[in-house]
Amino acid sequence: MSDFPQSESPTVPSPQGRASPHVVADLAKQIKEGRYEHGREIGHGGMGKILEAVDKPLRRSVALKVLVRPGNEESQNRFVREARITGELEHPSIVPVHELNVDANGELFYTMKLVQGVTLLEILQSLAQRDPETVRRYSLSSLLTIFQKVCDAVAFAHGQSEPVIHRDLKPENIMVGDYGEVLVMDWGAAKILRSKAVPDESPSSAEASEFATTGELTTDAFVTQAGSVMGTPGYMAPEQARGDAASTDERTDIYALGAILYALLTLEAPVRLTRAEAEDFLKRQQDGENPTEEFRHHVAPLLSERSARQKLDHSVPDSLVHVALKAMASSRGTRCSSPQSRAFSWFSSPLLR
């Protein structure tokens, strides 16, 4: 027998525990009339836009994503794929998906956690402008803590039985919450490796070719060209710049992580590779040359040489320089194999906590 009196036993059903018919009716009415109350637009991309919304039954704010071109079947397939991939990656530093559904008008949408905070890009821009509050709040140690959480999230995605690579890691896609949360966002370009069930339908490879062959945009300092990092291919690995989607794997994300670390250390974005430049470096490697130093000087000029680092107004530990440059190697085989590899394990040092 339980030591609890019967009236207090948690296993004894209580007739009063049932929901009131009025409560059920009110809840059903709210859902029928439209579960979500749409608010202002808080994000916009090529395929979708994100609205702030209220989940009326739960009385909570959420982020609600809808398609910009809802009637396009290809966009619909990508949209559903993005929601499902993100929803399957349940990790503290990957944005949680709440629901994938169709509204009363037959349009797709999905909802996710609404993060109150700023992007890592905004933080870096404010640091480059030497905003006093941002400088006080985000020391190098704090930035590396953010970076470690991003690495953990990417390692989790790579560690699935069918590994997932993000393919669009950059400061703009990293949200930093008001209470220390770090969330990797926007998995729309993600690719599932070694999967027989889900074809690679993302637009990433085509977009990479388009980025690499058009325009003369050079990625300058955050402070001199605010927002220039948004969507730029400075964080894309050479194989992406060449439009070689078949060669993208976990090491493609590793390059992007190294590029993000470069931005954290220098407060400048890494330099973009054009398609022609990426193809030239590859051809020289295939011909037996070793253009490693030239490649480093091109994409990571402020870290490639000690004399260049001395131009920064803050010191950069050599260990961090080594990690960034190794991750940003032109050859995939030379990069770190994982965000949890020995090169990245330096970030677990108590000195950075």
The candidate with the shortest Cα–Cα distance to 266, out of 305, 215, 216, is 305
Structure tokens at 264: 């954290």
Residues 6+ apart with CB under 8 A from 310: none
Name the amino acid, one letter, at 190. A
Distance, in Å, from the CA atom of 252 to the CA atom of 239, rounded to the nearest integer, reads 8
Core vs surface per residue 11-39: b (16+ CB within 10 A) or e = eeeeeeeeeeeeeeeeeeeeeeeebbeee
Displacement of CA 190 from its chain's centroid (Å):
10
Q: Which of 3, 26, 131, 168 is catalytic?
A: 168
**pLDDT confidence of residue 218:** 32
Strands 117-119 and 174-177: antiparallel
The pLDDT value recorded for residue 101 is: 95
Tens of pLDDT, residue by residue over 320-347, are 999 999 999 988 888 877 776 555 555 5
Q: Which amino acid is at 64?
A: L
Q: Are 127 and 183 in contact (CB under 8 A)?
A: no
Strands of the chain, DSSP E = 36-44, 48-55, 60-67, 97-102, 108-113, 117-119, 164-165, 174-177, 182-184, 191-192
Q: Which residue has the tokens 């209580």?
A: 14
Is-catalytic flag, 168? yes
pLDDT (0 to 100) of residue 216: 33
Taking the C-alpha atoms of residue 124 and residue 69, their distance in angstroms, rounded to an integer, is: 32
pTM recorded for the entire structure:
0.80
Classify residue 308 as exposed, middle or buried by CB count within 10 Å of its CB (0-12, 13-18, 19+). middle
Cα distance between residue 110 and residue 76, in whole Å: 12
CA 118 to chain centre: 13
SS3 290: coil
- Give the domains, in start order, of the chain with CATH numbers: 34-113 (3.30.200.20), 117-352 (1.10.510.10)
pLDDT digits (tens, 9 = 90+) for 212-252: 333 333 333 343 233 222 234 689 898 888 888 888 899 99
Query: How does pLDDT run along the chain (353 residues), one tens digit per residue?
Result: 555 555 555 555 555 556 667 788 878 877 777 889 999 999 887 788 999 999 998 999 999 999 988 778 888 999 999 999 999 999 999 999 999 999 988 899 999 999 889 999 999 999 999 999 999 999 999 999 999 999 999 999 999 999 999 999 999 999 999 889 999 999 988 999 976 555 554 444 334 333 333 333 333 334 323 322 223 468 989 888 888 888 889 999 999 999 999 999 999 889 877 788 878 877 877 777 777 777 777 788 888 777 777 777 788 888 899 999 999 998 888 887 777 655 555 554 433 33
Q: What tokens appear for 71 in the block?
A: 């009637």
Q: What is the pLDDT of residue 202?
A: 47
- C-alpha span between 191 and 211 (Å, rounded): 19
DSSP letter for each residue of 84-115 = HHHHH---TTBPPEEEEEE-TTS-EEEEEE--
pLDDT at 5: 55
Beta bridge partner(s), residue 48: 67
pLDDT at 351: 32
Contact 164, 192 (CB under 8 A): yes
Among 44, 24, 43, CA closest to 32: 24
